[in-house]
Structure formats: C-alpha cells, structure tokens
Amino acid sequence: NPATAWNFAAGPARLPDAVLERARDGLFVRGADGASALERPFTGDAFRATLHSARERLAQLLELPAGYRVLFLAGGAMQQFALVPMNLLGGAQRAAYADSGYWAQRAIAEARRYCEVVAAPGFAGAAPLAAPPAGPWDLPADCAYCHITPNETVDGLAYPALPDTGEVPLVADATSCLLTAPLDLARFGLLYASAQKNLGVAGLCVLVVRADLLERAAPAVPAALSYRRQVEADSCLNTPPTLAIHLAGLVFDWIAESGGLAAMGAANRRKAATLYAAIDGSGGFYRAPVAAAHRSPVNVRFQLADEALVEPFLAAAASRGLHNLRGHRQVGGLRASLYNAMPQAGADALAGFMADFARRRG
C-alpha cells in the first residue's frame, strides 16, 4: 500500500508530498502557449522565470552572502570531482583533500588525475568511525583549495564542525547535506550538491561559488563545463536540465513554507535521534559503527550483531512497508536515509519495527 510504505533510499530519494502533488498538477499540463513545463524552450521567458525564481528562493534559504553565484548544471556530483580541479586549480599544482570515507576517496581518486593531492587531516579509520578533526588545519599555502565531504552518505558520518582552512578556500561536496540544516556559506569558497537527495530529482547539480574563484578556470575547460562561462550565461550556455530545475524550485518553495533550514535541521535531528535511540537502546542487537558525535543526521547506518539476520531483517521490513534499507555494497549492513522529505512518522515506523524484530529474533 503506497500510503503506508516508506522509502529510505539514499538517492534518488523521497520527495515532499506537496512537491509530488504540485508536479502532477502543474508540470504535465499544457498552457495557453501550447506547451507544458516539459516542452518549453530553455531560451524562452517562461523557463527563465522558473530558473530565476528557483535561484532566488535558494538564495533566500541559504542567506547567500554578497559575492557568491549560484549555478544549476546538468549532471551529478561525480562530474564535479573532475570539474572542481579543472576550474579551481588556476596555476597551482596541488590541492588538499580530507579523506572522510567513501565519497571523499572517490573525489580524491579523480583529483589525482589533475593535480597532486595533499592529505588534509583525515579520519583514522579506527572504530568507532569519526570525522576529521575540527579546528584550524595547517595546510600548505600553495594548495589551490581544500576539499571536504561534510556528510558521507555511505559511511553514515558527518562533520560535527567545519575546519578552518585559513587562506585556502574550502570546497565541499554537500550532496547529501545541502538544505538539511542551516549552513554558514561564508566559510566556503565553493560547494556543490547533486539534486536527487534534498533538492529534487536526478540530472541536476547545484553549485554555489565565490565569484573571485571564477577567474581560475584552465583555458582548456570545455565551455559548458566552465563555471565562469556558465555564470556569464546564467546557467544556460547549453540546455540545462529544465525539468529538474523546475522540480528543485518546487522543493525550495516547500522548504520555505515549512519553516526554512532551521526547521529542516530540527526535524532531521529529531528523526535521527529516534533511530539512534532504537539502535543504542537495543542492548547490542543493533550497532551503529560511527562515534556518537559524528553520526550523520540524514544517513543512519547500523549493523546487526548477528550478520546472518541482515537478510531476514530486510525481508521482514519490506513486508511491513519499510523499503531500501540495505547498506551501500561497499560497507554492507543497513542504512536508513532520512532526508528532508521523510516525515517523523517514517522514522517512528522504522524504530517500531526494529524493536519488534529485536524482540522476536533477539
């Protein structure tokens, strides 16, 4: 029954109910111009109005400081693993990267094709897992930027505080955390996020970049992949993902109507607390591998003390309408993603099922 089923996928993930309803009523209907939102040219006034209002709403939600630009680009965050060095190295030979887990490592592997990667303070890899240390990071001044992954979607790990990288611009892969809580944007030189977790649907990557960094793009960067060229072209140097941008605008509206980022942060903390309490209160039946202060509020990773119960757990959960709880293949175990669109009722349903399963199988 779709009304009582919950999707805990890490992305593409659940959309807010209001967004699905508005999309159904607004996107697939032709207007007086003979076109629906799916059919309008990206060069026309109607799409430009959609784009500008999405950007305006996002800037309001983020309290975007002066001197920052917002880009709506085609593709996902993985492209940015290459495009960040291509656009930001300038004349530099090196950039710093913090290794905090799976996605940081993939960003590092891609960056190595473009520059020397200097190791910023990373995680120790010890159990329980912890994010890199907070506080000032002493980085060589010739690093073009320092890249971090504030929320590791696969590892279920989040930075409790941002590092201070001094003069070295901080760059973040914010794919699984952008818009899940208030954010001090002035701390960053650039951040980027794929849309399919908290900003809408796949196909779109949102970037926020400090304008002075736009001058660094290498001459060989393809025009459509150049941050500077896309800023100059209002994200429309070539056809942008118009449907995904339209949906992102609906998501931004919903967040604003729901109380903005402070409300998202509070609701996300509460949902996460519900699940971590179910894990920690299970007498060891369930275990969270991440240190308490470093646990992600949106990707709750957990394990069963008895590994043989993973498949029975997943099957029983699905039969109760609790879907997509399998952990990433790289780390195994279980994971519940609780992005903005997951209501408290979803977290409550899962916590109730977990207690039930532990009672029956413990």
Binding residues: 103, 153, 173, 196, 238-239
**∠302-304-310 over CA atoms, to 5°?**
100
On whether the CB atoms of residues 8 and 325 are closer than 8 A, the answer is yes
On whether the CB atoms of residues 217 and 226 are closer than 8 A, the answer is yes
Question: Is position 303 an interface residue for ligand PMP (rule: CB under 6 A)?
Answer: no
DSSP β-ladder status, 151-152 and 68-74: unpaired
Distances from the Cα of 341 to the Cαs of 17, 205, 218, 227, 317, in angstroms?
8, 19, 39, 30, 20
Residue of 137, 173, 253, 271 marked catalytic: 173
Question: Is position 268 an interface residue for ligand PMP (rule: CB under 6 A)?
Answer: no
Residue of 103, 137, 253, 271 marked catalytic: 103
Respond yes or no: is residue 271 known to be catalytic.
no
Question: Is position 77 an interface residue for ligand PMP (rule: CB under 6 A)?
Answer: yes
Closest CB to ligand PMP among 150 and 265?
A: 150
Choose, by CB under 6 A, the member of 7, 153, 165, 274 that binds ligand PMP.
153
Q: Which stretch binds ligand PMP (CB under 6 A): 46-54, 70-78, 108-116, 222-230?
A: 70-78
Question: Is position 110 an interface residue for ligand PMP (rule: CB under 6 A)?
Answer: no
Q: Fill in the per-residue mask, 7 to 46: x = in contact with ligand PMP (CB under 6 A), - = not in contact.
A: ---xx-----------------------------------
Respond yes or no: is residue 197 known to be catalytic.
yes
Q: What is the 3-state secondary structure (H, E, C) of 150-163?
A: CEECCCCEECCCCE
DSSP β-ladder status, 163-164 and 135-136: parallel
Amino acid, single-letter form, for residue 171 = V
Question: Is position 156 an interface residue for ligand PMP (rule: CB under 6 A)?
Answer: no
CA nearest to 298, candidates 1, 9, 4 = 9
Q: Give the SS3 label for residue 209.
A: strand
CA-to-CA distance for 48 and 27, rounded, in angstroms?
16
CA-to-CA distance for 349 and 226, rounded, in angstroms?
45
- 94: DSSP letter: E
Closest CB to ligand PMP among 50 and 153?
A: 153
Residues 173-192 that bind ligand PMP (CB under 6 A): 173, 175-176
Residue 326: count of CB within 10 angstroms of its CB: 18
- Provide, rounded to whole angstroms, the least separation between the CB of residue 318 and ligand PMP: 22
Place of tokens 């509020």: 297
Choose, by CB under 6 A, the member of 7, 50, 87, 149 that binds ligand PMP.
149
Closest CB to ligand PMP among 83 and 304?
A: 83
Q: Which residues participate in the annotated binding site for pyridoxal 5'-phosphate? A: 103, 153, 173, 196, 238-239
Cis before 150? omega within 30: no
Distances from the Cα of 304 to the Cαs of 101, 275, 329, 360, 362, in angstroms?
21, 14, 16, 14, 10
Closest CB to ligand PMP among 243 and 256?
A: 243
- Provide, rounded to whole angstroms, the least separation between the CB of residue 107 and ligand PMP: 7
Residue 117: count of CB within 10 angstroms of its CB: 20
Q: Which stretch binds ligand PMP (CB under 6 A): 40-48, 72-80, 224-232, 301-309?
A: 72-80
- Provide, rounded to whole angstroms, the least separation between the CB of residue 152 and ligand PMP: 7
Structure token digits, residue 67 = 């001197």
Contacts with ligand PMP by CB under 6 A lie at: 10-11, 76-78, 103, 149, 153, 173, 175-176, 194
**Looking at the annotation, which residues are catalytic?**
103, 173, 197
